[in-house]
Structure 1
Amino acid sequence: LVNVWSTGKGPTALCAHILADRGLLDLDAPVAAYWPEFAANGKGSVLVRHLLSHRSGVAGVGAPHTLDELYDWELTCAQLAATAPMWEPGTRSGYHAISYGFLVGEVVRRVSGVLPGEFLRQEITGPLGIDFTFGLPEKETHRLAELVQDRTDRTAQAALLARMQPVAVASLLNPPTGRAAANTPGWRAAE
């Protein structure tokens, strides 16, 4: 098994689209219709489709966020709900690297009553026998490939990080993730 990183966005979106196909989720409805707390700080006009298309303006948590906080679904969703948009929702796109799964996933949870990983197991991976999961059960960790650090020069990477815009920092580095984080039990078990 390998860490899914951003390829988890597709299955998360699929969960939302299944709910939409069943008439339980309106992609043109405000997110706040399903998640009232999300309307805070000028996000009342954010539509579900804005979440799905990286256009919500909530590319990351607005305050410093730790890995331990990231592993707490309810806390991370509460912090995202409290975050002001980084641009006017619906007017442009920006990659929601870390926040996407929580934003779309929380709508899935509010509509279906279960976290997206459980919804995926019940509706897709379980019935189809697909070996895919959000949150790796401890009994399966022996099957997981460990990430290794490459030995390349980090000078160019450091220079790039120093020039990153605040939106990119919030999206990609709050909290900092990478090999060290991904090899921890907390990361592997997190939804």
Structure 2
Amino acid sequence: MLKILLIGLISYIVGNFSSSYILGKILKNIDIRTKGSGNAGATNALRVFGKKIGLITFILDVLKGIIAVIIGQMILGDTGRLIAGIFVVIGHNWPIILGFKGGKGIAATIGAVTFINPLPAIIAIIIGILIIIKTRYVSLGSIMAMALVPIISLVVVRPFDLRFFIFLLILAIMAIYRHKTNIRRLLNGEESKLGHKA
């Protein structure tokens, strides 16, 4: 139990490292949460700050997912990886140091899931990218990729791993919940497309 609490705490703290907020403050003296969608994540960083900062933000967020999972694995093996993957995304989405106003967890999820089992992650990422290219809606690609990744795992992960499936299900539910305003805008035809500046 102590190890589980330790992994959860460390991973949550790692998730609190908000690269979009830090880069925005250091390089532009702007709080990302006051611009664009108000989301402290890579997509909003891309819209507000441009391609370079957006890409760096994405890479750093992916890396923190990987780092948390590695730490979890070192402390408690395979179980530790799954716990770390969930809590780093919670830390990214609801960071205490930013008043619980964080991102939507997609990049951190990509890092965590790809490191644990790359096959379902890569398939979901490809589907998400194709949807983004076709529609130019980053949110739609993210939502669909996250909704599909647990289903994809049922098909490609052998033998079936119930813990991994539940792990993916939790991450998918969090991601879709964090996109609830995007879903509303998509349904109303008001969602911003890729390339639209904030």
For the criterion TM > 0.5, the same-fold answer is no
- TM-score, L = length of structure 1: 0.27
Structure whose residues are more often helix by fraction: 2
Q: From the CA coordinates, give the structure whose radius of gyration is larger.
A: 1
Comparing both chains, which one has the higher relative contact order based on Cα–Cα distances under 8 Å and sequence gaps of 6 or more? 1
